């Protein structure tokens, strides 16, 4: 599988054009596409490191990948499920590892709190059916947090110890559940989530530029965070996940205090993230190093619909509860004909779509407008990375769709 020079040049032109207007376009992006054999089909960076920056965006630029972290946490948890260390459906185990979950209450529409009736399992945490939400995606939770508010990126475990929005197992809501899955992993293994990932996921793949504690070198190559105003213009803004970027890396106590967020904590070079996507395409084994991260049956399970009872979960509209962080979203991934939607273990399943992807494709995103997909049937995966808030930026979504469509068109030739 490869792309010819003409297709490569065309893709570069699309990306370069998207980054031409530094005032109201995309300030900078990196796009990487990989095949099942681990070969990089395409990799290109365009624009600047951030609005107002003179530094070019390059393939070595480091991005905060936000919720693209969730898939990595899922891989790590499923390694432990294979080993019998974690159990997907044992609420007693999950709540003994995370006793904080036992006393959670369920926030009612009128603001009152109801006792929790069911235990929370690891599967619920990985599928967003435990009842957790995010304050920036949910008005009820946002209202509950007044007057102080909640910052899910503060690095404080207290800021993810939120009331539930429904009884465990009785609904779907995107939220901090996978942060709690990461905490369960840490307590089961005695390792920080970052240390576990480095040892059991990144090292076997030869990955060096992915971490929850960015090195000095990674900090120096970090992309800037940008904000798009309602009129479409861009300006610089402070980074959302500051703690790992400002600590003294030589101070072990400071490093130890950084919360390892399984839901949003990773900083990465996009080409390295795609090495993990290639493992998923190749049924759990790295096509380059031969390292086996997961069994094929485990990857099959991750790619299977875990929530058939909620076929329209992504059609629950998501409000802009914090407009500086997200735009309103009417539907997560619209597909003609409104087929039943599915969710695997940490990512969305799509029933095809306009780009040419197969019906078994999985995908997800990161808050700062990063979007990845992995299509096992066609043996192709990729990621489009930017650092723009609020989420669901129309120009980035448009670029993602155009790039993906061009990839499938080229592969079909």
Collapsing DSSP states into helix, strand and coil, what is residue 274? helix
pLDDT of residue 211: 98
What is this structure's pTM? 0.98
Strand (E) or helix (H) holding 30: strand 28-35
Collapsing DSSP states into helix, strand and coil, what is residue 309? coil
Phi, psi (deg, nearest 5) at residue 383? -145, 140
pLDDT, tens digit, 9 for 90 and up, residues 135-193: 999 999 999 999 999 999 999 999 999 999 999 999 999 999 999 999 999 999 999 99
pLDDT of residue 1: 74
Residue 262 in tokens: 């399984």
The rounded distance, in Å, linking the Cα atoms of 212 and 325 is: 21
Cβ burial 374-408 (10 Å sphere, 16+ → b, else e): bbbebbbbbbbbbbbbbbbbebbeebbebbbebbe
Pair 265, 183: CB distance under 8 Å: no
The rounded distance, in Å, linking the Cα atoms of 270 and 353 is: 24
Give the mean pLDDT per block of 10 residues along the chain (413 residues): 92 98 97 97 98 96 98 98 98 98 97 97 98 98 96 94 98 98 98 98 98 98 98 97 97 96 98 98 97 98 98 96 98 93 97 89 98 97 98 98 97 89
Q: What is the chain's length? A: 413
The rounded distance, in Å, linking the Cα atoms of 333 and 351 is: 10
pLDDT of residue 413: 84
Three-state SS across 330-355? CCCCCCCCCCCCEECCCCEECCCCCC
Residue 320 burial (C-beta neighbours within 10 Å; 0-12, 13-18, 19+): middle
pLDDT of residue 351: 78
pLDDT of residue 353: 83
Residue 69 in tokens: 């972290």
pLDDT of residue 323: 98
């Amino acid at each position: 599988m490869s792309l010819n020079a003409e297709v490569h040049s065309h893709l570069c032109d699309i990306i370069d054009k998207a980054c031409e207007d530094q005032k109201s376009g995309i300030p900078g992006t990196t796009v990487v596409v990989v095949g099942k054999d681990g070969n990089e089909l395409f990799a290109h960076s365009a624009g600047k490191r951030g609005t107002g920056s003179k530094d070019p965006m390059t393939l070595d630029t480091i991005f905060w990948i936000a919720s693209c972290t969730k898939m990595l946490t899922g891989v790590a948890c499923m390694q432990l499920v294979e080993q019998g260390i974690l159990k997907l459906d044992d609420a007693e185990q999950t709540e003994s590892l995370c006793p904080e979950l036992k006393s959670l209450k369920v926030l009612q529409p009128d603001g009152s709190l109801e006792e929790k009736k069911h235990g929370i399992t690891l599967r619920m945490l990985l599928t967003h059916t435990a009842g957790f939400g995010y304050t920036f995606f949910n008005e009820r939770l946002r209202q509950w947090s007044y007057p102080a508010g909640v910052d899910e990126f503060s690095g404080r475990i207290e800021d993810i110890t939120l009331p539930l929005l429904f009884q465990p197992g009785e609904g779907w809501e995107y939220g901090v559940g996978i942060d709690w899955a990461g905490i369960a992993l840490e307590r089961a293994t005695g390792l920080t989530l970052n240390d576990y990932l480095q040892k059991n996921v990144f090292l076997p793949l030869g990955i060096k530029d992915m971490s929850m504690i960015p090195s000095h070198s990674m900090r120096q190559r970090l992309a800037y965070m940008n904000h798009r105003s309602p009129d479409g213009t861009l300006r610089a803004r402070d980074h959302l996940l500051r703690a790992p970027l400002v600590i003294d890396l030589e101070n072990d106590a400071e490093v130890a205090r950084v919360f390892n967020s399984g839901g949003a904590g990773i900083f990465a070079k996009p080409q390295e993230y795609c090495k993990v996507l290639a493992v998923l395409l190749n049924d759990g084994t790295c096509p380059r190093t031969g390292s086996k991260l997961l069994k094929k049956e485990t990857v099959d399970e991750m790619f299977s619909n875990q929530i058939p009872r909620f076929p329209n979960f992504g059609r629950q509209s998501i409000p802009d509860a914090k407009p500086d962080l997200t735009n309103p979203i009417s539907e997560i991934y619209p597909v003609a004909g409104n087929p039943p939607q599915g969710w695997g273990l940490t990512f969305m399943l799509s029933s095809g779509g306009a780009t040419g992807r197969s019906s078994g494709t999985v995908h997800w995103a990161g808050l700062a407008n990063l979007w990845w997909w992995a299509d096992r049937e066609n043996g192709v995966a990729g990621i489009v990375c930017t650092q723009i808030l609020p989420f669901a930026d129309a120009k980035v979504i448009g670029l993602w769709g155009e790039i993906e469509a061009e990839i499938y068109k080229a592969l079909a030739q």
